[in-house]
Amino acid sequence: MANKKAFLLLTGTAVLGGFFLAVIGDLGDEPKSPIAWLQYPLLLFLAWGALTTPVDAQIKARFIPFVFLSWLLGMSVELTLTVDGSGIGGVHPDTVASFILAQGDYIPLGILVWAFHRWMGCLMYECAWVVTGIALTEGLVFTGSVTASISSGSFIGALIVTCYLIALYMVYLLLPFRLCGVGLEKVTTTKSILLLVLAGFVSAFVVRSFWGLIYSPLISTIFDLPLA
């Protein structure tokens, strides 16, 4: 059952894993964004949000503020990423192309999490598990970073990468709840963690399949973006 203790354990583990992998990335020889240092304050911001929000309270996030904050934080995360070191952004080696293409991922995912909150009545700590499912679509399917670690036999590495991904996704899909304000009404629900993760995974898989099959080719053609 999704509850406050499980939420704090998940978020705390994700933040620690995120910091660990960020430090390893800084010390290693892999290509990195010149703004990769922004990961550290973003992860601290996430920790602050988790510790200071009464997650058993009903957060009433309005659509436009939530999606805007999600987009703003998502673009901040995107600044910390790079494909090969030649540009900024984790979607395409070219900076401008990466940020144009990224809109088809960040904005729909922000809307998706808001929909879980608004239409399915998910509280902040329940949305954390939805976000976990969303993050797993990247690690297990679309970039395969977690799958690659598992295939190489590095299960600890897979766990750390998973924590890192969850932390980054929480920055822009969970922190907006904290910034949107908290209602006073206490609400208790008994939603299953497994079902929340599965719902996040499946819905994000659909969004990202649309991105890969329709949005990315269409936008690349319209804006005449360079090939990756």
177-207 residue pLDDT tens: 988 865 544 566 678 999 999 999 999 999 9
Average confidence (pLDDT) over 198-220: 97
Can you tell me which residue has the tokens 């940020």?
99
pTM of the model: 0.94
Name the DSSP letter for residue 227: P
157 pLDDT higher than 70:
yes
What count of other Cβ atoms lies within 10 Å of the Cβ of residue 53? 19
pLDDT for the residue 81: 97
- The mean pLDDT of the chain is 91
Query: Coil, strand, or helix at residue 130?
Result: helix
Residue 185: both structure tokens together: 């009404």
pLDDT for the residue 1: 65
41 pLDDT higher than 70:
yes
Residue 28's pLDDT band, with cuts at 50, 70 and 90, is confident
Higher pLDDT, 160 or 57: 160
The pLDDT tens digits of the residues spanning 59-71 come to 778 899 999 999 9
What count of other Cβ atoms lies within 10 Å of the Cβ of residue 23? 12
What count of other Cβ atoms lies within 10 Å of the Cβ of residue 163? 22
Average confidence (pLDDT) over 91-102: 96
From the list 27, 204, 225, the residue with the least C-alpha distance to 105 is 204
pLDDT for the residue 125: 86
- Amino acid at the residue 129: W
Say if CB 18 and CB 167 are below 8 A apart.
yes
Strand partners, 57: 186
Average confidence (pLDDT) over 34-59: 87
Name the DSSP letter for residue 38: G
Residue 53's pLDDT band, with cuts at 50, 70 and 90, is confident
Determine the Cα–Cα distance for residues 184 and 205; give it in Å rounded to an integer: 34
Name the DSSP letter for residue 37: G
Residues with Cβ within 8 Å of residue 131, at least 6 apart in sequence: 113, 166, 169, 170, 173, 174, 200
Average confidence (pLDDT) over 44-68: 84
- Amino acid at the residue 204: A
Higher pLDDT, 191 or 171: 171
pLDDT for the residue 191: 85
Alpha helix stretches (DSSP H) within 53-123: 63-79, 95-119
Determine the Cα–Cα distance for residues 181 and 69; give it in Å rounded to an integer: 12
Determine the Cα–Cα distance for residues 3 and 53; give it in Å rounded to an integer: 14
Residue 50: both structure tokens together: 């988790």
Can you tell me which residue has the tokens 């973003």?
42
Determine the Cα–Cα distance for residues 22 and 44; give it in Å rounded to an integer: 12
Higher pLDDT, 27 or 213: 213
For the chain, the domains span 4-222
Higher pLDDT, 153 or 227: 153
The secondary structure element, H or E, covering residue 188 is none
55 pLDDT higher than 60:
no
